[in-house]
Amino acid sequence: MAMTGVPTRKSAPETLRSHLDRNYPRLSQKLPDTFVTPANVAFQGWRKLGYFRYLLAAILMATIPYLMDNDIFPILQGGYGINILFTTGYWILLTLGLSVVVGLAGLLDLGYVAFFMLGAYTTALMTDSGSPDQWHLVTWSPWLVLPFAVIMALVAGFVLGVPTLRLRGDYLAIVTLGFHEIVRQSVNNLTITNGSRGIAQIPSPVIDLPFYYQEFGLDAEYYWWFLLIPAILGAVLMIKHLDNSRVGRYWSAIREDEVAASAMGVPVTKMKVLAFMIGASVSGVAGWIYAIKIGYIAPNSFPLLQSILVLCAVVIGGLGSISGAVLGAILVVTLPEIVRELSGGDEIFGFSIEAGRIAIFGALLILVMIYRPGGLLAAKRRRTELQEAGAADGVVVAEDPGAHVKTRDADLWDDRKKGEH
Amino acid sequence: MGFLYALIALGYTMVYGVLKLINFAHDAVFALGAVSTWYIFGELFGIDTPKTGLVLVITVLAVLIVGGLFSGGVAVALERVAYRPLRKRNAARLSYLISAIGASFFVTYLLQQDFLPFLTGPGPRQFPNIVSAAQDAFSFELLNVRVTTPRMLVVVGALICFLVLDRLINKTTTGRSIRALSEDPVAAQLMGVNVDKVIIMTFFIGGVFGGIAGALYGILFGTIAWNIGFIPGVKAFTAAVLGGIGNIRGAMLGGLLLGLIENMSTVCIGSEWKNVVAFTVLPLVLIFRPTGIMGERIGG
């Protein structure tokens, strides 16, 4: 076992090795010390930064448009790169929101994009969009509408959550899937949403950063990226704090054993609805950004497939881990594009890789689930839970992994508690 | 349409009853039932004229059997590739779900390609015109609804399938093992039920009915495409839940009910709202009967 880096005293600052051991034990075993030791310095420095980490991350993210515009990533230049960057950005928001619902509270939501859709349509109907004869609730500036997009998503989360969250997992899945379809079809049929033609010319807010644009010599518009940066980092911060708070512990209790949790006094339904609403609000923000960036929304921009793909992204990345959710979004958005770039229109036995990239993606999904059932970046705690869940529900129980899993889990909780004091 | 939903719902409900998981790859199995019969009968044999009398019966039977067997085989293969490795590793239920979605993507988007003759390619294809739906053929009016031969065929075929399956589950040894496995997997294993074999059987039976539904879909609508599976799949899953997922009679009832609700809402409100109505009824039913109309027991 590669347990060399584990400090004997708990009060010592956490090393990269012990962090890896705790969260990614299999990765840790494969990495040699020569690789870990130099990285450890950076890791400890990063940990010491505290909240400045988020500032640093924001600055790093702000340089991406500069890198894109100046031939450093030639592939990502122009409209194509902007498209990918934007899609990845709002997908990260979506997966972060859904990882609260699925990863933290353990609720299977197959209609998550419905909230996204509601956020986008609220934005469209409350700003000065479309033709003058288009129906509007009000015609406000996009900035004023942001809170309403979030409130709309929150209310929808509440309305959907209160009656349905008493249902068990699989029923919840189909009801949420139905909810997506209800919202999509309603938007498609109502005249106030302009039916299947959608709403065009949604105004975008003006973010003037003359210094930034002049300094880096950018000519394209990147205002949406400066909306996505605070949104993503804010969501990460919120989820991290929720996970480490009383609410997060309620959620993990519900996820592991609902009956036991309610017997111990956890307000189960309340906490589930809360998870739903928080996930929905993140999605509402994403919808707002989507509406003002793209400027045109129609029911066909939000297919049922997207809800399912977001769930795939969350599970591939790793349930309940924030880095996993981000990775999942990046993979799901960019993988088909990478496959397209690499293949360059090649054909194998007449199989056009470019056209069949979704088929390849499907095959990859199966492979990931077989070899990393907990996702690529599953936190150790989640992965052990997943194995337990599988053992409890699975048909063939070869051996009970529960015993050693539970002790590892208990160790982790001890670590956390000691770390907090 | 209700009978078709019911037939597809059988596949979902059987797998759910035994493995307690949603088989998201079933829509691909359904689509393959239609595609395989289209290829074998339309392209290989070149059948394209309406048949009559005994020839009609034999052709239709052949079409249904081929579609059913092909889809059953594919369902077993999917189980082998996407489910069994996970089962051996005691994976979580969400992993099965994602793996099944992956399998569904793979098959569906493979069908979209056209590098092999039996793939449909991106456009719609003409299904072999075996049964004439013309006015002069056998048809009559019942309560303002025109009953044509293809529609009759769907109803009769589906009813026969229900009867066969109901007998199969409740009377045969295989059926008994399936029921045992769904009620208590550990006890069933201890009593000498071969789990792998039974699960394969379950997938095969579910796949056969999915394939028959696919072939009937082709006969009923006359055109097929690579993506026909998705919407009926979602609807059939809704139907299975409506009737009580894991319960075979529930799946039949749920399918019929869903078809009825859709048609009623088409008449009363308008066809563009039928999906909204169907998906609104579902949570309403689930609030009052949390496990569906007929509960979760697999047998009758």
ipTM: 0.79
CB B206 within 8 A of CB B10: yes
Contacts of B283 in chain A (CB under 8 A): 163-164, 175, 178
* DSSP per position, B89-150: TT--HHHHHHHHHHHHHHHHHHHH--SSTTS--SS-EEPP--S--STTSSEEEETTEEEEHH
| Whole-number Å distance between alpha carbons of A332 and A100 | 19
Query: Quick check: is A263 in a domain?
Result: yes
Query: Quick check: is B126 in a domain?
Result: yes
Q: List the single residue in A with minimal CA-CA distance to B114.
A: A351
Query: Quick check: is A244 in a domain?
Result: yes
CB distance B199–A365 less than 8 Å? no
Give the closest of A355, A365, A395 to B102, CB-based. Answer: A365
A-contacting residues in B 113-172 (Cβ below 8 Å): 113, 115-116
Domain range enclosing A155: 69-313
Work out the mean pLDDT of chain B and round it to a whole number: 77
Region A52-63 average pLDDT: 79
| Whole-number Å distance between alpha carbons of A125 and A139 | 8
Higher pLDDT, A27 or B105: B105
Contacts of B258 in chain A (CB under 8 A): none
Higher pLDDT, A408 or A183: A183
| Whole-number Å distance between alpha carbons of A140 and A138 | 6
What would the pLDDT profile of B242-259 be if each residue is shown by its tens digit?
Answer: 887 777 788 888 888 888
Higher pLDDT, B244 or A291: A291
Residue B300's pLDDT is 44
Say what percent of chain A tops pLDDT 70.
Answer: 71
Residue A279's pLDDT is 92
Region A132-141 average pLDDT: 71
| Whole-number Å distance between alpha carbons of A181 and A307 | 10
Interface test with chain A among B19, B80, B88, B95, by most A beta carbons within 10 Å: B95
Query: Quick check: is A375 in a domain?
Result: no
| Whole-number Å distance between alpha carbons of B83 and A64 | 41
Residue A347's pLDDT is 55
CB distance A362–B104 less than 8 Å? yes
CB distance B189–A401 less than 8 Å? no
List the beta bridge partners of residue B147. Answer: B140
CB distance A370–B99 less than 8 Å? yes
| Whole-number Å distance between alpha carbons of A400 and B186 | 13
Q: How far is B105 from chain A (nearest CA, A)?
A: 5
Query: Quick check: is B220 in a domain?
Result: yes
Residue B144's pLDDT is 57
What the block records as the tokens of B277 is 């109505």
Domain range enclosing B192: 2-229
CB B209 within 8 A of CB B11: yes
Contacts of B185 in chain A (CB under 8 A): 395-396
Work out the mean pLDDT of chain A and round it to a whole number: 75
Pairs of residues, one from chain A and one from chain B, whose beta carbons lie less than 8 Å apart: 176
Q: How many domains does chain B have?
A: 1
Closest of A49, A389, A256 to residue A248, by C-alpha: A256
Q: Is B176 helix (H, G, I), strand (E, B) or coil?
A: helix
Inform me whether the C-beta atom of residue B89 falls under 8 Å from chain A C-beta atoms: yes
CB B61 within 8 A of CB B37: no
Inform me whether the C-beta atom of residue B276 falls under 8 Å from chain A C-beta atoms: yes
| Whole-number Å distance between alpha carbons of B293 and B243 | 5
Inform me whether the C-beta atom of residue B177 falls under 8 Å from chain A C-beta atoms: no
CB B276 within 8 A of CB A182: yes
Interface test with chain A among B87, B94, B189, by most A beta carbons within 10 Å: B94
Q: How far is A399 from chain B (nearest CA, A)?
A: 9
CA-based diameter of chain A, in Å? 72
Contacts of A349 in chain B (CB under 8 A): 115
What would the pLDDT profile of A233-269 be if each residue is shown by its tens digit?
Answer: 999 999 988 888 889 889 888 888 888 888 888 888 8
Higher pLDDT, B240 or A91: A91
A148-152 long-range contacts, CB within 8 A, separation 24+: A148/A122, A149/A118, A149/A119, A149/A120, A149/A122, A149/A123, A149/A284, A149/A285, A149/A287, A149/A288, A150/A119, A150/A281, A150/A284, A150/A285, A150/A288, A151/A284, A152/A118, A152/A119, A152/A122, A152/A284
Contacts of A356 in chain B (CB under 8 A): 109-110, 112-113
CB distance A395–B101 less than 8 Å? no
Query: Quick check: is B107 in a domain?
Result: yes
Q: List the single residue in B with minimal CA-CA distance to A383.
A: B92
Give the closest of A316, A349, A396 to B115, CB-based. Answer: A349
Closest of B194, B212, B245, B285 to residue B4, by C-alpha: B212
Say what percent of chain B tops pLDDT 90.
Answer: 0
pTM beyond 0.95: the answer is: no
Q: How far is B56 from chain A (nearest CA, A)?
A: 37
| Whole-number Å distance between alpha carbons of B119 and B75 | 18
Does position A7 have pLDDT exceeding 60, yes or no?
no
Confidence of residue A343 (pLDDT cuts 50, 70, 90): low
| Whole-number Å distance between alpha carbons of A357 and A340 | 7
What residues contact residue A265 under an 8 Å CB cut-off, 6+ apart? none
Q: How buried is B165 (Cβ within 10 angstroms: 0-12 exposed, 13-18 middle, 19+ buried)?
A: buried
Contacts of B98 in chain A (CB under 8 A): 311-312, 315-316, 365, 368-369
Query: Quick check: is B298 in a domain?
Result: no
Q: List the single residue in A with minimal CA-CA distance to B243.
A: A171
Q: How far is B186 from chain A (nearest CA, A)?
A: 7
Query: Quick check: is B6 in a domain?
Result: yes
What would the pLDDT profile of A151-207 be if each residue is shown by its tens digit?
Answer: 999 999 998 888 877 777 677 888 888 889 889 888 888 877 777 787 877 777 766
Q: How far is A394 from chain B (nearest CA, A)?
A: 6
CB distance A356–B110 less than 8 Å? yes
Q: How many domains does chain A have?
A: 1
Give the closest of A351, A368, A395 to B113, CB-based. Answer: A351
A350-353 long-range contacts, CB within 8 A, separation 24+: A350/B115, A350/B116, A351/B113, A351/B115, A352/B113, A352/B115
Residue A124's φ and ψ, nearest 5 degrees, are -65, -40
Give the closest of B106, B112, B181 to A395, CB-based. Answer: B181
Confidence of residue B298 (pLDDT cuts 50, 70, 90): low
What the block records as the tokens of B113 is 């390609």
Q: Is A352 helix (H, G, I), strand (E, B) or coil?
A: strand
Q: Is B20 left (phi over 0), alpha (psi -120 to 50) or beta?
A: left
Inform me whether the C-beta atom of residue B288 falls under 8 Å from chain A C-beta atoms: no
Confidence of residue A403 (pLDDT cuts 50, 70, 90): very low
Query: Quick check: is A170 in a domain?
Result: yes
Give the closest of A175, A356, A373 to B91, CB-based. Answer: A373
